[in-house]
A and B are shown apart, each in its own frame.
Chain A
Amino acid sequence: MMTEPMADTIISLKDVRRDFGLVAAVDGVSFDIARGEFFSMLGPSGCGKTTLLRMLAGLDQPTAGSILLDGQPMAGVPANLRPTNMVFQSYAIFPHLNVVENVSYGLKRLKLARTEEKARVDQALALVKLEGYEQRGAHQLSGGQRQRVALARALVCRPKVLLLDEPLGALDKKLREEMQVELRSLQRSVGITFVFVTHDQEEALTLSDRIAVMARGKVLQIDTATGLYERPNCREVAEFIGTMNLFAGRVTKIGPEISVDAGSIGNLRAPAGEARIAVGDAVHVAVRPEKLSLLTGKAKAGANVVTGSLVASTYLGDRSRYLVQVPGVAAAVSVSLQHDGQHAAGVAMPGSEINLTWPASAGIVLTA
């Protein structure tokens, strides 16, 4: 996992912007990607992630800003001269060519010796486990096989960066999970930088070294999977990655801990994060469902306690999920409890009063 500033940058975006008419599809994006990294751009459709990927490929040009690829400015460099290759969402397998012809497509212009070309194609096909399919036509391939051909076709060119545009979106769930594992091990074995676009948060969390969460053409946060989950920097990221309970309030005291007056719920405490907060600011105290527990006896000193009534409980085998309606909070509070014997049986009937508690250190203060 990479959280430190990167010594070896392969892609550097600076204030990249792309306008379509009056709409900014990508609205001033700057970040770096390290060599050999599995980097994902995650966001809902229309957030600009695919446009950004296409600008890296050279299939689209930024309206403003600069893109450096391995130190070289990419302005004016067409797609065919960039050291990137792309796996398209539709795979874009050439229908008039068979598997070998598809995979060797990008090698033809290199004018390699026949044996050299064959060796590289064979190696690429082996990498994606498609040996024996050399002579198959494009229309004789299943979705998963087409995807492998698209991967082999891009990797055979030995790009510095492989760009993947929702490559798993068209596959069914089981195949998708298999391909996730394969994609990750493939990336480790070839050592090429992967830039992966997806709207599926689970996919991004499973695969990536780092993830850029995007919305409305902007990057909200770039962090590791753990970082995004444990330390979201705004409500949007908090709610996009997993489930998050939010309690609105106003800051009353700032110290090593922050006190928040959450209206009818009372006073909540949370650790002071990196965010700049002043007394009187409107904030949200955020806490993940699994950090909450049911309070049976007396609350621990310094812990937060809220009271509500049980709306629904769902037994999920290894854990149970409760929805608790807390007066003064619009959305029902979600609680996830691991079964350790104590909670194995249903704790309460819907409608009964429940006290929830969490240590102050488990909360996060979100300003935006």
Chain B
Amino acid sequence: MRKIFTPLTLYAILFTVFLYGPVLLMPLFSFNDNTFAVFPLKGFTLKHYASMAANGSMLGALWNSLVVATIVAVIATAVGLPTAIALTRYRLRGGGAIAAALMLPLVVPSIIFAVALLVILVRILNVELSLLTVGASHVFICLPFAIMVLMSRLEGFDKSLEEASRDLGEDGWGTFRRVTLPLAWPAVISSLLMCFIISFDEFVMAFFLSGTDPTLPVFLFGQLRFPNKLPGVLALGSLILLVSTILVVAAELLRRRGVQEKPA
């Protein structure tokens, strides 16, 4: 018989509890009939959800975040796809340097980019801070993720498929439309989801670069100073947790389907 309970199993369980325990406390307290997030639990209530729904400025911030994240996801993926095609399909002069430059936001702390962008936008370009500046900075940090996801898919399928399309009479655009895009589609969806999530919960850039209209993370940070606002935050946090879990699972399922479809 295989041993079911080993020290490694114990370690795995403890690890998971430490990782997800605090996160799972949030939905728990969001249903607790108490203003303070403390044990013991007092009773079940939905009033925090009601107060959340009544909090107009919080919903406004949520809306801002959703709009920014959606547009950022679309732009980053739309820019990332041709970039990924160029980097995987053509022998570019200095292709390695270009790829490295594009991947820079992955390794440079975002606070540095945030300060640098702030200086450039406000001091040099004299641009007014708004959701537009937040969105622009988010495209910048999402791009490497979009390119990586798309490149791994484009590298994964046989280049002779595109050559076959050319050989069968399709020009470059027709080949992109009929072969490259359909084959890259799972990665396009993953890229959209990933960029959406990155933008949606990005704090540092948004904190530095948003004007009077905050995104949700920036707004929530401001709310933490008021203890009586906390339960509403917990309720919203729980809902966001639910939606992100669904999105991540969907993205992962899509990615797996993409992997399975790969020609043998």
Residues of A within 8 A of B (CB): 57-59, 78-81, 84-86, 88-90, 92-96, 105-106, 108-110, 138-139, 153-154, 157
B169 touches A157 (CB 8 A): yes
A322–B200 CA distance with the chains assembled, in angstroms: 79
A84–B165 CA distance with the chains assembled, in angstroms: 13
The interface residues of chain A lying within 8 Å CB-to-CB of B178 are 105, 108
Residue of A nearest to B162 (CB): A92
A79–B178 CA distance with the chains assembled, in angstroms: 16
Most B CB contacts (10 A, CB to CB) among A57, A89, A90, A157 go to A90
A80–B164 CA distance with the chains assembled, in angstroms: 9
Residue of A nearest to B182 (CB): A96
A105 touches B263 (CB 8 A): no
The interface residues of chain B lying within 8 Å CB-to-CB of A109 are 169-170, 174
Question: Interface 1/0s, chain B 152-184, versus A by CB < 8 A?
Answer: 000001101101111111110010001100110
A95 touches B166 (CB 8 A): no
B262 CB within 8 Å of chain A: yes
The interface residues of chain A lying within 8 Å CB-to-CB of B169 are 80-81, 106, 109-110, 157
B261 CB within 8 Å of chain A: yes
Main secondary structure, interface of B, reads helix
A78–B163 CA distance with the chains assembled, in angstroms: 11
Pair count A-B, CB < 8 A:
71
B160 touches A88 (CB 8 A): yes
Q: Tell me the smallest distance from the CB of A149 to a CB of chain B, in Å.
A: 11
A58–B164 CA distance with the chains assembled, in angstroms: 11
The interface residues of chain A lying within 8 Å CB-to-CB of B182 are 96
Q: 28 interchain pairs (CB within 8 A)?
A: A57-B167, A78-B171, A80-B167, A80-B168, A80-B174, A81-B169, A84-B167, A85-B167, A86-B163, A88-B164, A90-B158, A92-B161, A92-B163, A92-B164, A94-B161, A94-B164, A94-B165, A95-B157, A95-B183, A96-B183, A96-B261, A105-B165, A105-B168, A109-B170, A109-B174, A138-B263, A139-B261, A153-B168
> Interface residue tally of chain B, by bracket?
20 to 34
A59 touches B168 (CB 8 A): no
Residue of B nearest to A81 (CB): B169
A78 touches B166 (CB 8 A): yes
Q: Tell me the smallest distance from the CB of B190 to a CB of chain A, in Å.
A: 17
Please name 12 further chain A to chain B contacts, defined as beta carbons within 8 Å, in addition to the given A95-B261, A105-B168, A153-B164, sorted by A numbering: A78-B171, A80-B167, A81-B169, A85-B168, A88-B164, A94-B165, A96-B183, A105-B170, A105-B178, A106-B168, A139-B261, A139-B264
Residue of B nearest to A84 (CB): B167
A94–B178 CA distance with the chains assembled, in angstroms: 10
Q: Tell me the smallest distance from the CB of B220 to a CB of chain A, in Å.
A: 42
A92 touches B171 (CB 8 A): no
7 closest residue pairs by CB, A with B: A106-B168, A92-B164, A92-B160, A79-B166, A95-B263, A88-B160, A96-B182
A154–B166 CA distance with the chains assembled, in angstroms: 12
The interface residues of chain A lying within 8 Å CB-to-CB of B263 are 93, 95, 138-139
The interface residues of chain A lying within 8 Å CB-to-CB of B164 are 86, 88, 92, 94, 153
Give chain B interface residues in 123-170, CB to chain A under 8 Å: 157-158, 160-161, 163-170
The interface residues of chain A lying within 8 Å CB-to-CB of B168 are 80, 85, 105-106, 153-154, 157
A157–B165 CA distance with the chains assembled, in angstroms: 12
The interface residues of chain B lying within 8 Å CB-to-CB of A93 are 263
Q: Tell me the smallest distance from the CB of B186 to a CB of chain A, in Å.
A: 10
B158 touches A92 (CB 8 A): yes
A81–B166 CA distance with the chains assembled, in angstroms: 9
A157–B167 CA distance with the chains assembled, in angstroms: 10
A86–B168 CA distance with the chains assembled, in angstroms: 8
Q: Of the candidates A59, A96, A153, which one forms a contact with B163 in the assembled complex, judged by CB atoms under 8 Å apart?
A: A59
B261 touches A90 (CB 8 A): no
A154–B160 CA distance with the chains assembled, in angstroms: 14
The interface residues of chain B lying within 8 Å CB-to-CB of A57 are 167
Residue of B nearest to A95 (CB): B263
The interface residues of chain A lying within 8 Å CB-to-CB of B163 are 59, 79, 86, 88, 92
